[in-house]
Amino acid sequence: MSSDASTAVADSDQVFCFRPYEVKRVKYKSYTKNGRSRPFARSGHRIVCDDAAIYCFGGFNPNMAVVTEDDDDAGSRCLFQELWKYDIVRKEWSLVMGPNHVLPQELASNAMILLGETLIVFGGTGFPFGVNCSNRVYVCQPEKKPKEMTEVEVKGDLPPAQYGQAIVYHDGHLYTIGGTEGFDYTCDIYRLNISSKTWECAYACRQDIRDDPPGRYRHEIAIDDERIYIIGGGTSDSAFSLASIPTYHIRENVWSYTATKPDPNLPLPGVPTARKCHSCVQYKTDQGTEIVVAGGYDGRTYYGDIWKLNLSSLQWQLMQKSVLPHPLFFHDAACSSAGCGPCGGKTTGQARLCTFFENLGWKVFRVPETATVLLSGGIKFSDLTADEAYKFQENLIRTMIQIENTFFELGRSCTRNCLIICDRGVMDASAFVSKEKWERMLKTNTWNPVELRDNRYNHILHMVSAANGAEAFYSTEDHACRSEGVDLARELDYKSAAAWIGHPYFDVIDNSTDFENKVNRMIECVCQKLGIDTGDRLLTTSKKVKFLVSELPVDSLFPAFQDFEVVHHYLQSAGPRVQARLRKRGQNGHFSYIHTIRRPHLHGQSIEVKTQLTHRDYLNMLTQRDDAHFTIYKKRRCFLVNNQYFQMDIYKEPGHPRCKGLILLETYTSLSGDKLKCILPKFLNIVKEVTGHPDYSMFNLSLKEDWSNTKKFCYSLHDQDE
């Protein structure tokens, strides 16, 4: 969000969002039906955001007050006692709280953060600046009713009333550093225990006896697991360097200075000039935490440059392709997880998967995201009519199919083992159009879901969004919080996953572990499907579990599901320990065909080789049917419950009487015991777990002879995938 100088604020109604190496103006519309449709231009305000909304609090504009003779209150009308919300998806402004609400009087140079769904405001000043300062803590939950901002009753050693301080949350504490009351500047550190609401002075700076950093205001903060970094800042007549960064070591409770490295592509000094009143955001990447510093002021010069610093390498980089529309200071910036860090982990996961298989000697192709390719050519969804948007989506799918086909042809001609990774799949589009439009699109292009979903891709991996299951990123220490941003992310994530329900090899990689192990689980999942032994490199414990279900509930109790006709034929095999079978699976007259050979591994573990067949190959192989087995007919129902993918097999006639009314539920998980029970669908009447029980093996269920009279009964099962 932008503003001009505090002494001369332009009549600006612009919001800027950051894309890679680009600052783009966002066109928005009014949500407010009556009264003001957007915030007035301002400086000294604060903004925070989640994945769905930006919240703007306070600010100052001297041009807004109409001064009359003997008007002692004109200055206060330069301040904005209000909280605004900008909906990122709808591109709409709305006033959350204003004149009719009780809000702080100190409205300039506050400090503000968003923890989960709770907005925290601390400090700040009224007008004239420095006359009335605050050390009060206010909280509000802008997405809940009633709309109110309340003061937190605190105790302990309170920090002084100041403005221009910076705050950060770490390990159950709210840290505040520095600030001024208008004359004296500090760099003292106070922290508030969120649970006990108790303040304490963590560090009092003494430059006379230690090499502590000088006092400052309008600085910014970055943080990693062990350190707090003070980025710039200044006093009324000075600004501090960003070449050597004051660094507070949280555990040791000491200060040091961290030397940074200049941008190697620039002449010396190659680092940002000293500045205050700039903005700074941070986010995580594969290369470590990075911060982005934009704009600022050194007492003489206003800046419009944008710099990036990696906290691991300590390397500065000037974003030479990026520049603010005009120099800014006393502005603010915020960063959403969707824009600047791993959300589900798809991008990181693809890179790691690519590296893993290349190290095995495989050839890896990565199919780019078609939407990104097309949208980078200047197409803007906001400029399209409904009909144009429909045609664009249709042509996007056609283009995606053609691009994928190019890579698929390369894969077929490759003489090495080859892995093709698609950033997106065709069915993703169905999640973002209405059912009617999707079905019309399928009919017009003679597409069918079985071909697009089941036959086109060998394996589907859904990396669950961090908004769904990674509560640590959206909560305080002991409270899992939700917000509109999180809810929206969850909804979109669920739609994306639901588009692939029914694929025969669909795996959901949830957030039950940390991000590193999440990526490892994804790689292990791919390796398992390809029959590659990773040893203990990826440390996965996921396995298939199977449950007996007593009866089928009504369809209305299920979440979104897909039903398939499934037919299994066991084939004559080369030996008694080798199993071979055919599977026909599909819906609405469209089918996919798989041939599976299952044989024991050298070390007693089973290995399966699966081959996708054409319809002709399937018919030819049916001549090898084993007359000792019934053909198995099933209805397979696929659905998601709390990010857990389930397949339920409902056995149908004709078949052996032992299969009559049989319903088996399967899923893959690393959980066991009570934790496993907790993830099972509550609307199903589950009788017992039958994992590994030979009585519920499809091979045994299909035998024509009674089990007591046959030598074919298989007692030893090794995680069959049926």
248 has pLDDT over 90: yes
Q: Tell the burial category of 383 from Cβ atoms under 10 Å away from its Cβ (0-12, 13-18, 19+).
A: exposed
Rounded CA gap, 719 and 722, in Å?
A: 9
Rounded CA gap, 255 and 178, in Å?
A: 14
Looking up tokens 């959300």, which residue turns up? 343
pLDDT of residue 675: 87
- Residue 677 vs residues 333, 545, 688: alpha-carbon distances, Å: 44, 11, 10
Task: State whether 258 and 384 are in the same domain.
Answer: no
Amino acid found at 631: T
Residue 359 domain flag = yes
Domain with 637 in it: 547-709
Task: State whether 507 and 613 are in the same domain.
Answer: no
Task: State whether 583 and 461 are in the same domain.
Answer: no
Mean pLDDT of 555-584: 87
Looking up tokens 């490759």, which residue turns up? 414
Rounded CA gap, 637 and 664, in Å?
A: 10
Instruction: Report the number of secondary-structure helices (H) and strands (E) in the chain.
Output: 11, 39
Tell me phi and psi for residue 185, to 5 degrees.
-120, 140
Task: State whether 362 and 494 are in the same domain.
Answer: yes
- What total of structural domains would you count in the chain? 3
Rounded CA gap, 656 and 658, in Å?
A: 5
Strands ordered across the beta sheet of 118-122: 111-115, 118-122, 137-140, 150-151
Task: State whether 683 and 705 are in the same domain.
Answer: yes
Which one has a higher pLDDT value, 539 or 154? 154
Rounded CA gap, 602 and 640, in Å?
A: 36
Nearest C-alpha neighbor of 143 from the set 627, 579, 485, 581: 485
pLDDT of residue 469: 67
Tell me phi and psi for residue 140, to 5 degrees.
-155, 160
Q: Are 587 and 605 in contact (CB under 8 A)?
A: no
Residue 333 domain flag = no
Q: pLDDT exceeding 70 applies to what percent of the chain? A: 81
Rounded CA gap, 478 and 194, in Å?
A: 10
pTM score above 0.85: no
Residue 330 domain flag = no
Residue 281 domain flag = no
Task: State whether 122 and 238 are in the same domain.
Answer: yes
Task: State whether 211 and 165 are in the same domain.
Answer: yes
Task: State whether 418 and 509 are in the same domain.
Answer: yes
- Number of C-beta neighbours around residue 516 at 10 A: 11
Looking up tokens 């957007």, which residue turns up? 38
> By three-state DSSP, how is residue 192 classified?
strand
Task: State whether 533 and 552 are in the same domain.
Answer: no
pLDDT of residue 208: 84
What is the domain-level CATH number for residue 704? Answer: 2.40.320.10
Residue 341 domain flag = no
Last residue of a domain, one of 244, 274, 304: 274
Task: State whether 593 and 460 are in the same domain.
Answer: no
Mean pLDDT of 286-308: 90
Residue 356 domain flag = yes
Nearest C-alpha neighbor of 701 from the set 647, 629, 648: 629
Which one has a higher pLDDT value, 53 or 108? 108
Task: State whether 465 and 565 are in the same domain.
Answer: no
Q: Are 43 and 6 in contact (CB under 8 A)?
A: yes
User: Each residue of 206-223: pLDDT tens digit?
Assistant: 988 888 999 999 999 999
Q: Across the chain, what does the average pLDDT equal?
A: 83
Which one has a higher pLDDT value, 37 or 635? 635
For residue 561, list its beta bridge partners. Answer: 639
Residue 301 domain flag = no
> By three-state DSSP, how is residue 4 classified?
coil
Mean pLDDT of 284-292: 81
Residue 716 domain flag = no
DSSP letters along 619-672, please? HHHGGGB-TTBPPEEEEEEEEEETTEEEEEEEEESSS-GGGTT-EEEEEEES--
Interhelix angle 346-359/515-530, nearest 10 degrees: 50
**Residue 438: CB partners within 8 Å, gap ≥ 6?**
429, 430
For residue 648, list its beta bridge partners. Answer: 637, 665
What is the domain-level CATH number for residue 88? Answer: 2.120.10.80
Q: Are 218 and 277 in contact (CB under 8 A)?
A: yes
Task: State whether 555 and 432 are in the same domain.
Answer: no
Last residue of a domain, one of 485, 505, 539: 539
What is the domain-level CATH number for residue 423? Answer: 3.40.50
Tell me phi and psi for residue 287, to 5 degrees.
-95, 5
Is the N-terminal amide bond of 128 cis, ω within 30° of 0? yes
Last residue of a domain, one of 216, 243, 274: 274
536 has pLDDT over 60: no
Rounded CA gap, 203 and 228, in Å?
A: 13
4 has pLDDT over 60: no
